Amino acid sequence: MALIRSVRGFSPKFGNNCFLAENATIVGEVLMGDNCTVWFNAVVRGDVHSITIGNNTNIQDGAVIHCTYQKARTVIGSNVSIAHNAVVHGCTVHDDVLIGMGAIVMDGAVIESNSVIAAGAVVLPGTLVAAGSIYAGMPAKRIKGIGDEMKSVIKRTAENYLMYAEWYK
């Protein structure tokens, strides 16, 4: 069973049909929508500020979701895939976004819908990632817009993680 802890009087709240891996950690002021998945060794730590997650969002193995005390909460939309070992910290991620493996999204960044943050990218504090963009590099910069193929990858990834979760039930 996942480690689920209350902190400072706040307890995580989960929607329907969420999958939490046995060694996932979800702490504090976390509000998670329906059909979300939190995978092995992932941490969602709402101890210093709130974390809100929409529906059909997957937080993959080793990812860390956190915020900044009295400064930056974290808001993640629906149909978002946060890949292995990514860090999402004190920022806003709109719907239909793919954050690649090992990427870092820092405080105050806003990732608009239908965007991709490439593997290993570092999105600096306060960066606005415009809708329909692919950002890559360190620091992350817009490299191009996304086409229909990449939109289907974003959708398919979110759907696949719902299927994978069923394998574990």
**How many structural domains comprise the chain?**
1
Q: For 96-120, write each residue's pLDDT tens digit.
A: 999 999 999 999 999 999 999 999 9
Average of per-residue pLDDT values in the chain: 98
- Region 139-167: mean pLDDT is 97
Q: For 26-44, write each residue's pLDDT tens digit.
A: 999 999 999 999 999 999 9
The string of DSSP letters for 144-161 reads EE--HHHHHHHHHHHHHH
Structure-token match 């990514």, residue found: 86
- Region 53-77: mean pLDDT is 97
- Region 59-71: mean pLDDT is 97
CB burial string 153-163: b at 16+ within 10 A, e below: ebbebbeebee
- Asked if pLDDT for residue 134 goes beyond 90, the answer is yes
Structural domain harbouring 147: 3-167
* Cα dihedral 68→84→29→20 (10° resolution): -170
pLDDT band at 169 (very low <50, low <70, confident <90, very high): confident
pTM of the predicted model as reported, rounded to 2 decimal places = 0.97
CATH number, domain with residue 61:
2.160.10.10
